[in-house]
Structure 1
């Protein structure tokens, strides 16, 4: 009786196909990581660009608001000018400050022409300046949308004794700050009139951390410095970047010493 021999089927294994144990799984893991990276990376870049844009918006608002405050404060010290001349003086000083501080005007809708002064008021004894402008939002955040911003600065105008800053009763007038230890003979002193710049943290290695906003805090990618300062700041609203100035008679400065930059003049 003839014998029937069955041909055994060959066992299929990864080794016969030239693949080692675990190689297939490792290739799958690498592929999955590549897919995850392709999905997550665009969102990460989107978030980073959005955060940087928001920092730029904050910088723009600070520069514009600071320029308005300085222009109003300087004009308020000028006596015996008509309200119309006072308003023109505020506008002139304001635009000069924007240019001096390298304000990113391109972010404002219509540029300089997009700044509205319609609701500003000037009188013989006060200045009430109000500006409005729109910040252009990029398409990836809000397409064809504008961010409306309003800045207001109020100040009483100087109505004191006219002259060159001195009289027989009060003597010479000087400038001081609430927390300062010196007095200034010039309001244009660089200790009082700060010029603020934003730089990357690597460029501020020669500056020490501000005691008010940066000491003990993690340094941010962008920091703020002044031309004559020795500290870097991580917040634009830091008190070290602001100056509250008082005009007082020299005989009332008590134990304050003269400023090393302008007190000797």
Structure 2
């Protein structure tokens, strides 16, 4: 039989077995729990990013395909009406894609989120550019991300064909025209096409003259009000001065066409007789 002296000793041994550090098995279980807690959100966001990427690629492909179909329809209609009506173009794009598909997509505004206002078609050459702009939203839980803008662009030409008897004739030669010009050029390096741009001090504008002897006036596109920099940009043939070298008034988009395709244009006074 145990004496009373043994009781404190047993109590001490019992306490020593149930106090101290956690076992290796307990530490391992805790580590796995922490790693699992970190892996779940990472896996969730990676999966979400992949799904959003696939949806974005699907939307881009659908809009590009819809714009192509709408462009074909516009090219046929341009024979009678050589102009782009943005609302009609937007409707054709949406119909080609499918309004329900757009409503279920990440396109901001759904079927009403397609904008074709930047599209144009030259009534002289029948050449134009159609553009579908839209925004996509990024639905990430817990984050507020601004919509991202995208656009699809393609060039088209009206299916106008050639005038009867004009195709293949020797005098139906290739000429050069611009979107806004009213003349055609036989020389692709005509000075009216290949602009010679010069920088000039704004204080000298009153004394400067172009090749025709005319004065230079403010460009309606890049000169706003009375604002002028220290230097402006002019051309020998133009009658406008510009604040910016990137102004569209200093650029010429030149197209090739046959004379029979530009019946409303006259020959350039400088190169048309050559």
Normalised by the length of structure 1, the TM-score is 0.48
- Report the structure number with the largest CA radius of gyration: 2
